[in-house]
Amino acid sequence: MSFSKPELIDAPANWPPVSGETVTFQIMGEIKEGVLGEIRWGLVWRDFILEDGRVIPEHKMLGATTSPEWRDPQEVSAAEREYWEERLVDMAEAGLDPRNREQSFWAELNQYLAYTHLRLKRRSQELQNRTSNER
């Protein structure tokens, strides 16, 4: 399933890296390297998929020449959200370990949790604004 991808505005030519480049990232205080396979947009941020299957969120990458771009939760369609929910259920049923911080289950679970937090935060702010305006 494919979804629209937000574009990085005014990105320098050297960021993001391209497939085949060696990238450096930091996970739990440890600096690591890997060869970039592809970059995919998640529900909130871009994930860097390494050739060996590890999944690294953009905000863990070192050497970025721009700040990570995050999607507005309102840009995520109901179909996209449902797709992610189904994938998480499938991963859980397959017995994947959600604590492995460099694998898909951890990455997708964190994307979903961040998306849910941002969406609920926005709704809470909207309710507060409506209540303030009604007074």
Residue 2 within a domain:
no
Nearest to 92 by CA among 80, 113, 108: 108
Residue 7 within a domain:
no
Residue 1 within a domain:
no
Segment 58-115, tens digit of pLDDT: 999 998 888 888 999 999 999 999 999 999 999 999 999 999 988 999 999 999 999 9
4 pLDDT tier (thresholds 50, 70, 90): very low
Residue 14 within a domain:
no
Q: Write out the residue range of the structural domain in which residue 51 sits.
A: 22-134
Count CA within 13 A, CB hemisphere, residue 80: 18
pTM above 0.85, yes or no: no
13 pLDDT tier (thresholds 50, 70, 90): low
Residue 15 within a domain:
no
Q: Provide the domain count of the chain.
A: 1
Residue 8 within a domain:
no
Residue 17 within a domain:
no
Q: Tell me if 41 sits within 8 A of 75, measured CB to CB.
A: no
Residue 3 has pLDDT above 70, yes or no: no
